[in-house]
Amino acid sequence: MYVLNFYSPLFADQLRHGRKQATIRLGDKSHKYKKGHVVLVTLGMENNPREKIFEAVIDSVTVKKVYDLTPREIEMDNPEFRLLEDELRFLEQIYNRDISTEDLVTVVRFSAIIEKPQGIAESYGTSPGQLN
C-alpha cells in the first residue's frame, strides 16, 4: 500500500473534515500514484511517528504545469486558497525553493474510504439486513 503523507499539522483538520480532497505535489508523480490505488493518508514528519488519518482511493492523477492549475484544484488542495499566486507561494514554502509557473506539478485527487456509508441501504432500495 502506498502512503500519501502530509507534513503540516495545518492539514489535519482539513483532512478529517473532508475539506482537503487533493494534493498538489511538485514534479511528475504519475509513476507513484494511479487512479484506483488505495493509499494510507498520514500526517507527520519523516523519520518520526506518523498519525493514520484514513485510507483513501485515488480518484485522479493529473500532471500539468503550475500555470494550468484551476481555481477548483487549488481549493481542493487548500480550502483557504483560490488564487494561483497563493498556491505558488505555498508550494515554495513546502519545497523550500523558488517555483516557476512553468514547473510541473501532479494533482492527486482522493476520496476517503469510510467503514459504512450512511444511507447506502436506502440508495439501493434494500433494508440494512439485506446487504451482504
> What does the alpha-carbon distance between residue 74 and residue 79 come to, in Å, rounded to a whole number?
8
DSSP H helices in 17-123 = 71-77, 84-95, 120-123
DSSP state of 115: S
Mean of all residue pLDDT scores within the chain: 89
Bin 17: left if φ > 0, else alpha if -120 < ψ < 50, else beta.
Answer: alpha
The model carries a pTM of: 0.83
Inform me whether the pLDDT recorded for 119 exceeds 70. Answer: no
| Residue 132: predicted pLDDT | 47
Amino acid present at 113: I
State pLDDT tens for residues 15-26: 989 899 999 999
Helix, strand, coil percent values for the chain (each to nearest 5): 25, 30, 40
Query: What value does the mean pLDDT take over residues 68-80?
Result: 94
Specify the length of the chain in residues. 132
Query: Quick check: 56 and 41 in contact, CB under 8 A?
Result: yes
Question: 13: which DSSP letter?
Answer: H
Q: How confident is the model at residue 33 (pLDDT cuts 50, 70, 90)?
A: very high
Residues sharing a CB contact under 8 Å with residue 90, sequence separation 6 or more, in sequence order: 78, 81
CATH of domain 2-130: 3.10.400.10
Give the type of residue at 49: P
